[in-house]
Amino acid sequence: MPKEDTQFKPGAEWKGNAGGRPKGTMKNYLAQKFMEMTDKDKEVFLKLHKVTGKDQIEFGEGKAKQDMGLEVEMTAKIISVDE
């Protein structure tokens, strides 16, 4: 548990990342640069940097959603072994 003086206090002004991610990030720059490449240059780049097929899909479409609604009922049976 964090120290009390470092914990968020309700009603206190938030000074964290109020403006969010800055515009014009390296991610945007690289995405633009990649989009401007020819198809052949893209193939060479992906092979040179050993980018997997899974990563290529995530680059293009984003990561797959991980929020799966699961309902689970667990039961346990305890077994005692006498030596």
Q: How far apart are CA 44 and CA 34, in angstroms?
A: 12
Non-local (6+) Cβ contacts of 64 within 8 A are 58
Residue 40 has pLDDT above 80, yes or no: yes
What is Dmax (Cα atoms) for the chain?
Answer: 72
pLDDT value, residue 60: 74
- Indicate the average pLDDT of the chain: 78
pLDDT band at 68 (very low <50, low <70, confident <90, very high): low
Are the C-beta atoms of 34 and 42 separated by less than 8 Å? yes
Average pLDDT, integer, range 26-43: 88
pLDDT band at 38 (very low <50, low <70, confident <90, very high): very high
| Percent of the chain's residues with pLDDT above 90 | 10
